[in-house]
Structure 1
């Protein structure tokens, strides 16, 4: 890294990213009715997520895996550092790492770190901002919490 980490710059970036992500998240949930009795299905192999209600799929989008939390170990791992993930689900996540390197924001280019909920939240918001995501999504499978960005949401014909 070329210079010393400027924590106040990081805080400003996080604050702006949090506001933007919060507004986009609220808009996404409200616009597409993603609260309540909604089911979802995601696939890392084709980097897609769909939502359904009452057995009818009504919304589809592209996902980018941000990272994961190992709940037993209490550690975060960026998706770009996880060799077991399909390339398609990584999308442009490497841009987040490069953004961190270019701006001397250490948490973004670290492969992983000890799990601190607020630090994970900050990393997610900044990733959403850097990659211009429409929303964020989280799911827990077994002992792993998975974090995704949502892009390119499309209402399906049955929902129109």
Structure 2
């Protein structure tokens, strides 16, 4: 039986609304500013928490990844990265701040290590996490029956000729 307090929507909806608007505008700006549409390829690594984008085999953009959390499709559960001991520290980044933000502001979904997967709640949690850590964008990757959710920071255009 789950004896954790139920998620209190008081104040949460306001925080989510602001985070959702921020994420939409930042995501659109990131895609437009850096040309992240069309025939763009990407490569990423959790070990060093980096992502690179390339076109025609030439890297044109690099960024830092922070893993927000993951969804086990088979178990229908969400697990925060700060609660996942198998992740490299570089990939977890400052996610502890997201957990603390939840504790300090009475948003229990943020300090719960895991919860039953609900697509809307996961979307809200991702956007609030991105807002707390001032991410430039959000990114997700699906492998097998796991969804990995990241935020992107510190985007830098690669020098010509790379």
TM-score of the aligned structures, taking structure 1 as reference length: 0.94
Q: CA deviation at 1:158?
A: 2.6
- 1:13 aligns to what? 15
- 1:150 aligns to what? 152
- The change in CA–CA distance for 1:117 and 1:53 in structure 2 (over 3 A counts) is same
What is the CA–CA distance in structure 2 between the aligned matches of 1:35 and 1:47, rounded to whole Å? 22
Q: Give the alignment of 1:49-88 within 5 angstroms.
A: 49-88=51-90
Is 1:26 the equivalent of 2:28? yes
Q: 3-state SS of the aligned residue for 1:8?
A: coil
Unaligned 5+ segments in structure 1 are none
- 1:107 aligns to what? 109
Question: What is the aligned residue count?
Answer: 158
More off after superposition, 138-147 vs 93-102: 138-147
In angstroms, what is the RMSD of aligned CA positions? 1.7
- 2:97 aligns to what? 95
Aligned residues of 1:58 and 1:159 also touching (Cα < 8 A): no
What is the CA–CA distance in structure 1 between the aligned matches of 2:16 and 2:96, rounded to whole Å? 18
Aligned residues of 1:51 and 1:59 also touching (Cα < 8 A): yes
What is the CA–CA distance in structure 1 between the aligned matches of 2:75 and 2:160, rounded to whole Å? 43
> 38, 41, 44: which one pairs with 1:39?
41
What is the CA–CA distance in structure 2 between the aligned matches of 1:53 and 1:4, rounded to whole Å? 47
Q: 3-state SS of the aligned residue for 2:11?
A: helix
Runs of at least 4 residues off by over 4 Å: 3-6
More off after superposition, 29-38 vs 131-140: 29-38
Q: CA deviation at 1:4?
A: 9.0
Aligned residues of 1:57 and 1:158 also touching (Cα < 8 A): no
Q: 3-state SS of the aligned residue for 1:150?
A: strand
